[in-house]
Amino acid sequence: MAAANHPSAKNALIVGASRGLGLGLVETFLARGWRVTATQRNASPGLAALKSEALTIETADIDDDAAVSGLHDRLASQTFDLVFVVAGVATQAHDPLHAVPRQVAAQVYLTNAISPVRFAETFRDRLAPGGSLVFMSSILGSVGLNTSGGWENYRASKAALNTLVRSFAIRHQAEALSVVLMHPGWVRTEMGGAEADIDVATSVGGMADVIEARLGQPGTMYLDYRGETLAW
Ligand SMILES: NC(=O)c1ccc[n+]([C@@H]2O[C@H](COP(=O)([O-])OP(=O)(O)OC[C@H]3O[C@@H](n4cnc5c(N)ncnc54)[C@H](OP(=O)(O)O)[C@@H]3O)[C@@H](O)[C@H]2O)c1
């Protein structure tokens, strides 16, 4: 019996998996014997190419409450050991804040900070006992570590994500949720660019190690892909 068909195989829901780090995480968890439900906004050639019986592909835009609710309904029979909200945008990230049109800046905040936490609120009831909820943050979301500036609006959106996730976990503290805000490293993806430090395989392998090692541990941690704790 293939590992992923085994009744004890773990289940992951990876949100924003059409390409980049999300797609890499899907490949990695499948290779580790997990069953994976992966979401895309539009048909993803990368996901379609994986052709694994352990992979289910769903479609949802995290900014669309009706789409997220529809996804929640379609996955009604399932619980997940890992819910990982990976989706994020970096629109006009290189421009100083005053050069980013208000609507563009607000949309980055909606996608990177508001929508992931709203998604978690909707899917909280689908987290299996002993499971973890992981959000893709960034070291750029650290207020304390911001000594170099740049990426102003993106930084603020990830700092907001960190703050909103901590508030979410405190609001649900009776459930002792296992929550991670993850920094994947600076990674060579469309967002990270060709000059970034590490490749997708290094980042997603590290993140999967960190997640598997602390699956279900209560508390809210801000960690990088090597398991190092970051300053808020
Ligand atoms: N690369 C880095 O160095 C780095 C460093 C720190 C943090 N991060 C974070 O890691 C995450 C993934 O980044 P990446 O480097 O893999 O970037 P990427 O290649 O640009 O991929 C971004 C992913 O997010 C999806 N997405 C964007 N908006 C969405 C929405 N409203 N609903 C659903 N999916 C949406 C995209 O889907 P479409 O294909 O439909 O656009 C795509 O799958 C992001 O949260 C990013 O901020 C990246």
Domains of the chain: 3-224 (3.40.50.720)
Cα of 87 from ligand 1 centre, angstroms: 4
Question: What distance in Å separates the CA atoms of residue 141 and residue 156, rounded to the nearest whole number?
Answer: 6
Cα of 45 from ligand 1 centre, angstroms: 16
Residue nearest to atom 19 of ligand 1 (CA): 20
pLDDT for 36 equals: 98
Ligand 1 atom closest to Cα of 63?
Answer: 31
Closest CA to 137 of 102, 164, 118, 119: 164
Cα of 86 from ligand 1 centre, angstroms: 6
Question: What distance in Å separates the CA atoms of residue 232 and residue 225, rounded to the nearest whole number?
Answer: 16
- Asked if 131 and 83 count as a contact pair (C-beta separation under 8 A), the reply is yes
Coil vs helix vs strand at 113: helix
Residue identified by tokens 């290094």 is 202
Coil vs helix vs strand at 152: helix
Q: 22: part of which helix (H) or strand (E)?
A: helix 20-31
Ligand 1 atom closest to Cα of 17?
Answer: 43
pLDDT for 4 equals: 64
- Asked if 174 and 122 count as a contact pair (C-beta separation under 8 A), the reply is no
Cα of 89 from ligand 1 centre, angstroms: 6
Ligand 1 pocket: which of 18, 145, 181 to mutate (most atoms within 8 A of CB): 18
pLDDT for 7 equals: 64
Q: How far does CA 36 lie from the centroid of its chain?
A: 14
- Asked if 154 and 111 count as a contact pair (C-beta separation under 8 A), the reply is no
Cα of 10 from ligand 1 centre, angstroms: 24
Coil vs helix vs strand at 57: strand
φ and ψ at residue 217, rounded to 5 degrees: -70, 125
pLDDT for 69 equals: 98
Closest CA to 151 of 223, 219, 91: 91
Residue ranges lining ligand 1, Cβ < 6 Å: 16, 18-22, 41-42, 61-63, 86-89, 111, 136, 138, 183-184, 186-187, 189-192, 196
Cα of 112 from ligand 1 centre, angstroms: 9
Closest CA to 207 of 156, 127, 128, 132: 132
pLDDT in tens, the chain (232 residues): 455 667 679 999 999 999 999 999 999 999 999 999 999 999 999 999 998 999 999 999 999 999 999 999 999 989 999 999 999 999 999 999 999 999 999 999 999 999 999 999 999 999 999 999 999 999 999 999 999 999 999 999 999 999 999 999 999 999 999 999 999 999 999 999 999 999 999 999 999 999 999 999 999 999 999 999 999 9
Residue nearest to atom 34 of ligand 1 (CA): 16
- Asked if 212 and 132 count as a contact pair (C-beta separation under 8 A), the reply is no
Q: Give the single-character DSSP code of 114.
A: I
pLDDT for 8 equals: 79
